[in-house]
Amino acid sequence: MHRTPYALAAIATQAIPALDARQVAPLEETVDGFESALVIDAEARHWIVRAPLTASAGAALEAEIALLEALAAYIDRGDLPFLVPRVAGTAPLTDGGRALVHAELPGFPIAMERLTPGPGLAASLGRALAAIHELPVHVVEATGHPSYTAQSYRERRLTEVDEAAATGLVPPSLLKRWEDRLEDVSLWRFIPTVTHGALAADSLLVQAGNVAAVRDWSEVKVADPADDLAWVLAAAPADCVDSIMEAYQLRRTELPDPHLLERSLLASELALLRWLLHGTRHGLADVVADAVEMLADLDVATAAAAGEIVRFPAYGGTGPIPADDVATTALAISGDVAVVSSDFAAASGDVAAASVTRPPTAATDVISADEVLATVPDDIGAGDGAGEGEGDPPVALAGAAWHEEVPAGQADGTGPRDDDGAANGAGEDDHAHDAIASGDSQADTAARDARGVS
C-alpha cells in the first residue's frame, strides 16, 4: 500500500525510537517498488526512510540490508574509499517486510559529462569502481544476491539474443555481430567479480572532487565487471576514459583482462536489446517502438564503423532500469550525438532492483498508516499521496518551521562551494536538494542540481 510522508516519518521513529521527527518531505524513489521520504529530526539531522510496496521489493530490501551491514565492516577497515548507506534501524510493516532507515549520504550526483582527464574526479571514479570489483565475492553470495560464472553469464546473454531474434524486430546484421562476439569464447575468459549493477549519475555522490558515497545497492551480483564499466564508458567524455581506466587498473589486484573494454562496449550495445525485451515481455508498445528505433540507429552507426564495436558519446544522465531483463545504458543516436529518448530516460533514471529474503524482526509494535493519519489535523494537508513527488513543498511536523537553502551546483559535479573554494556538501546529498526546495524557483534549482546541470 502507498504511505503518506507522515506515515513514513512515523515508521522512521519506530525504527529509531530516539528519533524526534520534526520535518518530512516525500522523495522521488530511485528504485521501482519502493517509496521513501526525507526526515529531519530535532537536531537537524537528515534521515532517509525507505519502505517496499510489494513482496518482491521487500525481498530485495532484505538482501540489500544484509549487504549494507556487511559492507560497513569494510568501510570501517578502510577497504572502501567511499561511504554506503549505513543501516541505522529497521521497522516491521503491517503488510509484511521491513522499512529501512539510514542517515543521508554526503555529496551530489556526479556530472559525468563534465569530467575532465587527469588525477582528479575521473581517477577517483576509476578507483571507486575497482574497489567494488575487489570486494570478496562471498560477501555478495552470503547475502543472497545472484552469482554467475563466466560461462553461465555468456550463455545468459546468448539466450537474450535468441529471444530478441525471435521477435523479428532486430536488424539481422546486429544479431550476427552479437552472436559472433558471444560465441568467441576467448572474449569471455574473465574472473567474475562483485558488480554494483545499477551505476548511474545519481548512485555516485561526489564531494571535494572525489567519489564520496555510492548508493542503490539492490542490483548487486557476482558477474562480469564489464557490466559496470559499460555505463561509465558510455557516459564519460572520451578524453577521460584513459584516466578512469588507468586508476581502475592500478587499484585492481587481478591480472589485466585483455578483453574488458571490448566486453564493456558490447554490453552497451546489448543494453538496447534488453530494452526491447523489457517492452516485449511486459507488452509495452511504446517501449518496443522506442527500442526498435534505437536499434535501427545503432545498425546504421555500426555499419559505418565497418562492424567494429562503437563507443558513442552519451548524455550523462543515463542509467540502469529495473531488473536484469532491462537495458542499463541504452542510447539513441541522433546525428553525431547520442541522446536518450524521453521514454527511456523516464524509465531508467537511477533505478535498481531485486533479490532474496531474510526474516524480519518483530520486536517493535506496528503502527499502521491509517492510525498515523487519524492523528493528523485536516488543515495540515496530509492528503493521500497524490501529486507528491520531486519539487513538492515539504511537510513540517510538530509545528516546526521549514528553513533550508538550496545551494547552486558546480559545473564540475562536485557540489556547492564556500567562498574559499572548499566543498560544503558534507552531510547532504541530492535527496535533500530535491526534497527541501520550496517554491518554483527552488524546485527548478534542485532538479538542475540532481542532473548536474548548471
Tell me the range of 2-11, 21-30, 160-169, 402-411 where mean pLDDT is highest.
160-169
In three-state secondary structure terms, 398 is coil
Q: What is the pLDDT of residue 308?
A: 55
For the cut 50, the answer to whether the pLDDT of residue 412 exceeds it is no
Evaluate whether residue 336 is within a structural domain: no
Quote the percentage of the chain above a pLDDT of 90: 57
- Lowest mean pLDDT, pick from 143-152, 235-244, 318-327: 318-327
More confident residue, 440 or 124: 124
Q: What is the pLDDT of residue 31?
A: 65
AA identity, residue 224? D
Residues 255-291: tens digit of each pLDDT: 889 999 999 989 989 999 999 999 999 999 999 999 9
Q: What is the pLDDT of residue 75?
A: 93
What is the span of the domain harbouring residue 22? 5-106+357-451
Quote the percentage of the chain above a pLDDT of 70: 66
As a whole number of angstroms, the distance between CA 309 and CA 181 comes to 10
What's the grid cell of residue 177? 555481430
As a whole number of angstroms, the distance between CA 337 and CA 314 comes to 7
For the cut 80, the answer to whether the pLDDT of residue 10 exceeds it is yes
What's the grid cell of residue 343? 521514454
In three-state secondary structure terms, 70 is helix
Evaluate whether residue 27 is within a structural domain: yes
What's the grid cell of residue 369? 498508516
Evaluate whether residue 415 is within a structural domain: yes
Evaluate whether residue 178 is within a structural domain: no
What's the grid cell of residue 306? 565497418
Q: What is the mean pLDDT of residues 346-366?
A: 28
For residues 14 and 367, the answer to whether their CB atoms sit within 8 Å is yes
Q: How many residues does the chain have?
A: 454
Query: Which candidate, 316, 312, 319, 317, places its Cα nearest to that of 337?
Result: 312
For the cut 50, the answer to whether the pLDDT of residue 173 exceeds it is yes
More confident residue, 322 or 131: 131
Evaluate whether residue 244 is within a structural domain: no
Query: Which candidate, 64, 47, 63, places its Cα nearest to that of 11?
Result: 47
Domain count for the chain, please give it. 1
Evaluate whether residue 337 is within a structural domain: no
- Domain CATH for 85: 3.30.200.20
For the cut 60, the answer to whether the pLDDT of residue 328 exceeds it is no
As a whole number of angstroms, the distance between CA 56 and CA 401 comes to 38
Residues 132-150: tens digit of each pLDDT: 999 999 999 999 899 999 9
Q: From residue 157, give the alpha-carbon distance in Å to each of 147, 150, 189, 196, 324.
A: 15, 11, 15, 18, 11
Evaluate whether residue 127 is within a structural domain: no
Q: What is the pLDDT of residue 409?
A: 42
What's the grid cell of residue 270? 546489448
For the cut 50, the answer to whether the pLDDT of residue 343 exceeds it is no
* Beta-bridge partner residues of 25: 38
Q: How many CB atoms lie within 10 A of CB 241?
A: 19
Residues 55-84: tens digit of each pLDDT: 999 999 999 999 999 999 999 998 899 999
pLDDT tier for residue 436 given thresholds of 50, 70 and 90:
very low
Question: pLDDT averaged over the chain?
Answer: 74
Q: What is the pLDDT of residue 255?
A: 85
Evaluate whether residue 117 is within a structural domain: no
